[in-house]
Amino acid sequence: MKLVLATLNSGKIAEFRQILMDKSFVNVRSLLDYPTIPGIIESRRTFAGNAIKKAVEVSKHINAVTIADDSGLEIDALDGEPGVLSARYAGENSTPGQLITKVLKRLEKTPDVERTARFRCAIALVIPSCEETVIEVVEGVCEGKVTLNKRGEHGFGYDPIFVPLGYNQTFAELGSEIKNKISHRAKALGMIMKLILS
């Protein structure tokens, strides 16, 4: 089965591929394989809204099962920021370093006990059909907290400053094998695979 990931984010693509590694019947593609598909503006106010928009737009160009992920970090002490703005929190084309610097600066005076946060991942699924196109959306959450400093080299985005609940190391220290078992993305993708296979 061909499964198109409606993203150009290489960090996300690597994680999807690893999570789906034992599903040998799934032939994973991404927008890197379809360079002519135009970029999609994430204009919605929720992760689910943006995920649906991306999956629906991409599926108009490709007649295959398509999924899109919209995800980010919600920090309680910042009233849920950066949230849907996670990729652009320090301005358009923010680097991971700039994003992390901004978050740590805004949390400068926040004590450890109040640094609770979660990663949220919405994944939308589109299964095109001439009879009835299926559109579903699910969400996975990974609770944890934001560290005082960057730690670790693995992963992408905010991984160096996020410690998942029940662990002492950041996602960037834990590495992909553990992250991809407990992450927001792994949970959401598990739900999506159940829907695809049901």
Angular region, 152: left φ>0, alpha ψ -120 to 50, beta rest: left
Stretch that binds ligand IMP, among 19-27, 29-37, 157-165, 190-198 (CB under 6 A): 157-165
Q: Which is nearer to ligand IMP, 42 or 136 (CB)?
A: 42
Comparing CA positions, the residue from 57, 60, 88 lying closest to residue 72 is: 88
Q: Which of 30, 59, 66, 71 binds ligand IMP (CB under 6 A)?
A: 71
Residues 19-58 that bind ligand IMP (CB under 6 A): 42
* CA separation for the pair 137, 51 (Å, rounded): 8
Return the bridge partners of 69, or none.
123
Stretch that binds ligand IMP, among 22-30, 57-65, 67-75, 130-138 (CB under 6 A): 67-75
Q: Can residue 9 be called a binding residue for ligand IMP (CB under 6 A)? A: yes
Catalytic status, residue 76: no
Q: Can residue 119 be called a binding residue for ligand IMP (CB under 6 A)? A: yes
Alpha-carbon distances of 124 from 10, 71, 80, 164, rounded to whole Å: 18, 11, 22, 24
Q: Can residue 158 be called a binding residue for ligand IMP (CB under 6 A)? A: yes
Angle at 49 between CA 145 and CA 89, to 5 degrees: 45
Alpha-carbon distances of 56 from 110, 138, 177, rounded to whole Å: 40, 15, 31
Are 163 and 144 in contact, with CB atoms under 8 Å apart?
A: yes
Residue tagged active-site, from 70, 76, 112, 159: 70
Least distance CB 178 / ligand IMP (angstroms): 13
Q: Can residue 147 be called a binding residue for ligand IMP (CB under 6 A)? A: no
Least distance CB 49 / ligand IMP (angstroms): 12
Are 145 and 189 in contact, with CB atoms under 8 Å apart?
A: no
Q: Which of 86, 147, 170, 180 binds ligand IMP (CB under 6 A)?
A: 86
Would you tell me which residues interact with ligand IMP (CB under 6 A)? 9, 42, 69-72, 86-87, 99, 119, 155-159, 183, 185
